[in-house]
Amino acid sequence: MRELIFKVCLLVTFLITSASFAQDLNKTSLLSDLNNTEGIELSKTEKSSFEKANNELVSDLIAMDKKERSKSERDKEIEHLFDQRDKNLSASLGLNKYSDIKSKTDLSIQQDKEKLKLTKL
> What pLDDT score was predicted for residue 73?
92
Picking from 53, 56, 60, 58, the residue whose alpha carbon sits closest to that of residue 98 is: 53
> What pLDDT score was predicted for residue 68?
85
| Helices 71-93 & 44-65 angle (0-180, nearest 10) | 170
| Residue ranges, the chain, pLDDT below 50 | 18, 20-25
> What pLDDT score was predicted for residue 16?
61
Q: In whole angstroms, what is the distance from residue 33 CA to residue 25 CA?
A: 12
> What pLDDT score was predicted for residue 56?
95
Give the model confidence (pLDDT) of 19-40 as tens digits. Answer: 544 444 477 888 888 898 888 8
